[in-house]
């Protein structure tokens, strides 16, 4: 899911779009498997008692738990994107209500990345971007291929600063 053309400004091109590493879906996957196993075990062990009403109650509870514990986190993960263009970084998130944050590359002062041991093993990390505003810096957590994105952002920020210096 990339930045829609209607949200882009003149001369803007998408460089890359990413979302957090799939490792954030590990717990929802465990929840889904546990709910499926427990729900199917309980549903089959109850049999056809009371015209099958207890079985349908167990199935209903299992479906609600699976939706809340696994499907909703997946949808949130899927819809939370970071888009890097040649002019700005755009964060978009939200399922029903979409919110976003835009940082022009020319306003970025510092770009850093952090990786703990798990991140190093999985090939991801956190990109920390500080801009020339009063708000806190933008932290892009659990980004896959963090070194590549850091290198690309740093290069584009340097290019944006050189372009803005030449126009002065």
d(CA 88, CA 104): 4
Distances in whole angstroms, Cα of residue 18 to Cα of each of 60, 64, 148, 152: 35, 29, 12, 13
The distance from CA 146 to its chain's CA centroid, rounded to whole angstroms, is 14
Same domain, 38 and 114: no
Give residue 119's pLDDT: 93
Contact 101, 21 (CB under 8 A): no
Contact 35, 62 (CB under 8 A): yes
- Residue range of the domain that includes 150: 14-21+81-167
pLDDT digits (tens, 9 = 90+) for 74-127: 999 999 999 999 999 999 999 999 898 889 999 999 999 999 999 999 999 999
d(CA 49, CA 120): 53
Contact 38, 62 (CB under 8 A): yes
Domain with residue 152: its CATH number is 2.30.29
The number of distinct structural domains making up the chain is 2
Residue 136 has pLDDT above 90, yes or no: no
Give residue 167's pLDDT: 65
Does any domain span residue 3? no
Does any domain span residue 1? no
């Amino acid at each position: 899911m990339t930045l829609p053309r209607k949200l882009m400004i003149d001369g803007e091109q998408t460089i890359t779009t990413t979302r957090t590493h799939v490792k954030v879906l590990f717990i929802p996957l465990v929840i889904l498997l546990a709910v499926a196993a427990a729900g199917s075990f309980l549903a089959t062990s109850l049999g056809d008692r009371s015209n099958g009403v207890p079985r349908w109650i167990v199935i209903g509870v299992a479906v609600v738990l699976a939706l809340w514990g696994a499907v909703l986190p997946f949808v949130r993960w899927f819809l939370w994107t970071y888009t890097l263009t040649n002019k700005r970084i755009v964060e978009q998130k939200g399922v029903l209500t979409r919110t976003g944050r835009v940082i022009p590359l020319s306003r970025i002062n510092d770009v850093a990345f952090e990786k703990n041991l798990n991140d190093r093993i999985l090939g991801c990390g956190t990109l920390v971007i500080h801009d020339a505003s009063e708000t806190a810096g933008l932290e892009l957590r659990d980004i896959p291929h963090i070194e590549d994105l850091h290198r690309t952002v740093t290069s584009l920020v340097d290019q944006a600063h050189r372009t803005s210096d030449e126009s002065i």
